[in-house]
Amino acid sequence: MIIEPRMRGFICLTAHPKGCEQNVKNQIEYIKSKGPIDGPKKVLVIGASTGFGLASRITAAFGSDAATIGVFFEKPPLEGRPGSPGWYNSAAFEKEAHKAGLYAKSINGDAFSNEIKQQTLDLIKTDLGQIDLVIYSLASPVREHPITGVLHRSVLKPIGTTYTNKTVDFHTGIVSDISIEPCLENDIVNTVAVMGGEDWAMWMNDLKEANLLAPGAMTVAYSYIGPSLTEAVYRKGTIGRAKDHLEATAFAITDSLKSIGGKAFVSVNKALVTQASSAIPVIPLYISLLYKIMKEEGIHEGCIEQIQRLFHDRLYTGNPIPTDEKGRIRIDDWEMRSDVQEKIANLWKKATTESLHEIGDLEGYKQDFLNLFGFEFEGVDYDADADEMIGISSIV
């Protein structure tokens, strides 16, 4: 079928298998171009199909020849209806990994559930024995709690007071004011239940109990801080509470892994266009200004550049892992540089529908957004018939 982007709000309903494959191949080429990393050998990536998780899987596999198991929640295709981008990304990843002689298997299902955890443990036990790195990179709006059965929904709201600021509809380029009402008390509890650290701790506990963690095993989850401009809706909002919880959980997991010399870290990453971040009001405007400045300064990075730097310059240097005063790895260091942030704060005041094309990188934002779904890649013939029924070879 001919597959074109079909937009609804901040999501795209279609994905292009060839474009997703190109995206994965580009990321693999980038990792190969940067040379080998003396990194992990057996890796579990939870949330492995898009964004930072996919980049982590690619970096481990093609940077350090690691065997990888990827867990994700994606839609397979039906005749005449393309699958989700993460499905096609994972199909392409496995194809390339197998071509390179690397072990790669995937599990598609709800990572919050006991069933998927058990399936993953069984697969590790049978195929890999023990793993030395667990990447936790889930971004989800909902979680069914495996013990209580309660369905928690996360919200992206300020706490205490209404937040009013500018935002951009990145499809139309229209800059407008948006007001977001403060959350209810339950919203905090629910958002922490979905995006906090409880599930990460459950995974690590199950893996340890089953003796599937190698001595000195490491686990890393991803967080975000960002500037004061977005603080009320992000870091000091409901999602920020969840990130506080995630960050605190790293210490609890490290404690629980003492007997095997294991360690848990949170890495604070840069703001990037992913399916998760495009859903947060105000963030698209911030990102379009951030892209403009970082590209001008020659310090722009996408997910793959961020994770390559995380592995190469932070996690696997042979030296102790550098962290900030709160124990977090900072790979958002270039985003948070004071000169970059000062420029953004100035541009923010000037941002209007008319000025944004000049002062921001809305085109870069749109391009990245379409790329997420496999569109607008060089070298892909979008007028050609594409086979939507692509399968993943080692799906469990």
CB of 226 to ligand NAI, least distance (A): 8
Among 271, 290, 347, 390, binds ligand NAI (CB under 6 A): 271
Which of positions 65-84 make contact with ligand NAI (CB under 6 A)?
71-74
Which 8-state DSSP code applies to residue 78? Answer: B
Q: Print burial letters for 270-279: b (CB count within 10 Å at least 16), e (below 16).
A: bbbbbbbbbe
Task: Please name the residues in contact with 258: beta carbons below 8 A apart, sequence gap of 6 or more.
Answer: none
Which 8-state DSSP code applies to residue 391? Answer: P
Applying CB under 6 A, does 192 fall inside the site for ligand NAI?
A: no
Count of residues near ligand NAI by CB under 6 A: 29
Tokens of 87: 């499905």
Piece of 49-57, 121-129, 201-209, 253-261 that binds ligand NAI (CB under 6 A): 49-57
The amino acid that residue 274 corresponds to is: T
Among 59, 190, 249, 277, binds ligand NAI (CB under 6 A): 277
Applying CB under 6 A, does 135 fall inside the site for ligand NAI?
A: no
Q: What is the DSSP string of 204-216?
A: HHHHHHTT-EEEE
Applying CB under 6 A, does 88 fall inside the site for ligand NAI?
A: no
Among 3, 58, 111, 123, binds ligand NAI (CB under 6 A): 111
Burial of 88 (0-12, 13-18, 19+ CB in 10 A): buried
Among 156, 217, 264, 276, binds ligand NAI (CB under 6 A): 276
Applying CB under 6 A, does 112 fall inside the site for ligand NAI?
A: yes
**Residue 155: CA atoms inside 13 Å, Cβ hemisphere, count?**
15
Piece of 8-16, 33-41, 47-55, 309-317 that binds ligand NAI (CB under 6 A): 47-55
Cβ-closest position to ligand NAI: 51
CA 29: distance to chain centroid? Answer: 20
- Residue in 30, 88, 136, 234 annotated catalytic: 234
CB of 105 to ligand NAI, least distance (A): 15
Tell me how crowded residue 348 is: count the other CB atoms within 10 A of its CB: 17
Q: What is the DSSP string of 180-199?
A: EPPPPHHHHHHHHHHHSSHH
Applying CB under 6 A, does 291 fall inside the site for ligand NAI?
A: no
- C-alpha distance from residue 377 to each of 9, 20, 151, 308, 371 (Å): 22, 9, 38, 21, 7
Applying CB under 6 A, does 222 fall inside the site for ligand NAI?
A: yes
Q: Which of 202, 46, 265 is nearest to 136 (CA)?
A: 46
Applying CB under 6 A, does 275 fall inside the site for ligand NAI?
A: yes
**Are the C-beta atoms of residues 67 and 105 closer than 8 Å to each other?**
no
Piece of 32-40, 164-172, 219-227, 314-322 that binds ligand NAI (CB under 6 A): 219-227
Applying CB under 6 A, does 15 fall inside the site for ligand NAI?
A: no
**Are the C-beta atoms of residues 74 and 83 closer than 8 Å to each other?**
yes
Among 27, 50, 154, 191, binds ligand NAI (CB under 6 A): 50
- C-alpha distance from residue 281 to each of 160, 163, 336 (Å): 17, 11, 20
Tokens of 10: 């901040």
Applying CB under 6 A, does 140 fall inside the site for ligand NAI?
A: yes
Q: Which of 286, 285, 273, 272 is nearest to 12 (CA)?
A: 273
Among 61, 175, 193, 272, binds ligand NAI (CB under 6 A): 272
CB of 332 to ligand NAI, least distance (A): 7
Tokens of 15: 């994905």
Cα–Cα distance, 176 to 313 (Å, whole number): 40
Among 86, 227, 360, 364, binds ligand NAI (CB under 6 A): 86
Among 14, 59, 274, 371, binds ligand NAI (CB under 6 A): 274
CB of 85 to ligand NAI, least distance (A): 9
Q: What is the dihedral of CA 127, 129, 135, 138, to 10 degrees?
A: 60
Which CB, 39 or 47, lies closer to ligand NAI?
Answer: 47
Among 14, 68, 137, 308, binds ligand NAI (CB under 6 A): 137
**Are the C-beta atoms of residues 72 and 106 closer than 8 Å to each other?**
yes
Among 30, 170, 203, 224, binds ligand NAI (CB under 6 A): 224
Which CB, 231 or 260, lies closer to ligand NAI?
Answer: 231
Active-site residue 382, yes or no?
no
Q: Catalytic residue numbers?
A: 234
Give residues in contact with ligand NAI (CB under 6 A): 47-53, 71-74, 86, 110-112, 137-140, 222-224, 269, 271-272, 274-277
